[in-house]
Chain A
Amino acid sequence: MRYLDGFRNPDTAAALVSHISDLAAILAQRRESINIMEVCGSHTMAIARFALRELLPENLRLTSGPGCPVCVTDAGYIDAAIALAKEGHIIASFGDLLHVPGSGNTLAQCRSEGAAIEICASPTQALEIARQNPKRQIVFLAIGFETSIAPVTTLIPSASKENIENLSLLTAFKLVPPALKALSSDPEIKIDAFLCPAHVSAIIGAQAYEPFVNEHHIPCVIAGFEPLDILYGIEGILRQLVAEKAFVENQYSRVVRAEGNRVAQEIIAKYLQAADASWRGIGIIPESGLKIAAAYSKYDSTARFGIEIRVGHPNPACRCGDVLKGKIIPPECTLFAKACTPAHPVGPCMVSGEGSCSAYHKYSR
């Protein structure tokens, strides 16, 4: 299809890479290196899959950020989901999450021991599970960034409309702009520019990054997930750095509007409210998450079952936290490809198909 193949043309890519090298050579005279963080896991995977890192000049470093929702899900959240499964409730979840280790087990292990854990490709499947099991409680594991938050949140009005009383959401929603702010404020991490996520931006809109850019003066370029999108995004970043400017540039204009998806934003604003969120390996970032608004607390699993999500205790040898912050690359972790593999992941970055460790393991060894 033209809207995929057109953005993968290798001949155009080669010319773009050459242009990027020219810009990087200008910057090499001014600074030691150029550190670009690709925030989104789908960018991480595309960069690895199309071997883009190998094409780029040596003074340009692409670092993966915390934008894989499964990877940043706290061990304590998994513990809470396992506890609810063991009480006999039906857990409905996106598939990736089943293999993420909590403080002890994974949901997959819990399932093999007989717990009712259903995999959903779409949140609407949770409604069907609820209809078919009127005497059981269904807990949907509501994780994700803005892209997933909007579809998942529609479960609340849908359940309400149909008078479905046995469905609730265990939320661990996360927001991208507060994460950019937290990463930029960490003195141990030096990021020159952000390659901003494609589909998160489709929901929040290009202008959602403006307060961050105005405050921190770090270029933010929104790019699609195809190779030419990513290369052109990098080119746009380098152009800003050469000109010593910082602004929001939307290069994924075929999908992302300046104002974003208003319908999705209205659903989020109506049913959810800001909350502090705990990011695996990073810790609590103030107001970087969303929870169910007080008026709809009957759909909140923590309220329904009187539980709270505590801080988990993941394997201390796992360095996913440092990977998520861009402090190390996966092979620098002693567990990588030894104790921790896609078949037996220790940390969440090896679990998810979009995790940095998984991407490195699959494409860069």
Chain B
Amino acid sequence: MCLAVPMEIVSVSDDGTAALVNMDGTQCSVDLSLTPGIQEGDFVVVHAGFAIEKLDRDEAEVRLQLFEELAQTQREEIARRNGGE
């Protein structure tokens, strides 16, 4: 039930209380009461029709890079172990 998916803001209503979002080509309206200041082009996490938080794209990239670095270190470790046998 607490599943929420990232969606891209397509447009924000004039009064800033609602937005149109895009998720894999499907558009729907979300309530922005809990995330004032959201702008077109931002990614938000949507739950029960409400944007509950903005997705920080820089943090997402940093995290993906961190995963890859850890994976790479482990691959090298595995290669070292296999080479040592």
Contact = CB atoms under 8 A, between A and B. Distances in A.
B70 A151 contact: no
Interface stretch (A77-85, A251-259, A307-315, A319-327): A251-259
Contacts of B73: 19
User: Which DSSP category, helix, strand, loop or mixed, fits chain A's interface?
Assistant: helix
Interface stretch (A8-16, A287-295, A356-364): A8-16
A198 to B, nearest CB: 7
Contacts of B71: 11-12, 15-16, 19
Interface in B28-65: 31, 33-36, 43, 45, 47-50, 52-57, 59-60, 62-64
B57, B67, B70, most chain A CB atoms within 10 A: B67
B74 interface: yes
A41 B2 contact: yes
Contacts of B53: 199, 202-203, 255-257, 261
A250 to B, nearest CB: 10
Given A1-B6, A3-B43, A253-B59, A121 B49 contact: yes
Interface residues of B, number: 40
Contacts, number: 146
A184 B24 CA distance: 41
Interface string A241-281: 00000000001011111000101100100000000000000
A147 interface: yes
A102 interface: no
B55 A151 contact: no
A148 B2 contact: yes
A115 to B, nearest CB: 23
Contacts of A263: 33-36
A198 B2 contact: yes
A228 interface: yes
A263 B4 CA distance: 18
Contact of B35 (A16, A18, A147, A261): A261
B56 A255 contact: yes
A253 B56 contact: yes
Interface string A220-255: 000001001000100100000000000000010111
B67 A12 contact: yes
Contacts of B56: 253-255
A198 B75 CA distance: 28
Nearest to B8: A1
Interface of B: 1-6, 24, 31, 33-36, 43, 45, 47-50, 52-57, 59-60, 62-64, 66-68, 70-75, 77-78
Given A96-B1, A198-B2, 5 more contacts: A7-B64, A11-B71, A42-B3, A147-B1, A267-B34
Interface of A: 1-4, 6-7, 9, 11-12, 15-16, 18-19, 22, 40-42, 45, 67-70, 94, 96, 121-124, 144-145, 147-148, 150-152, 154, 197-200, 202-203, 225, 228, 232, 235, 251, 253-257, 261, 263-264, 267, 352, 354
15 contacts: A3-B57, A7-B64, A15-B70, A15-B74, A15-B78, A16-B71, A18-B74, A19-B74, A122-B49, A150-B34, A151-B34, A202-B53, A235-B70, A255-B56, A256-B53
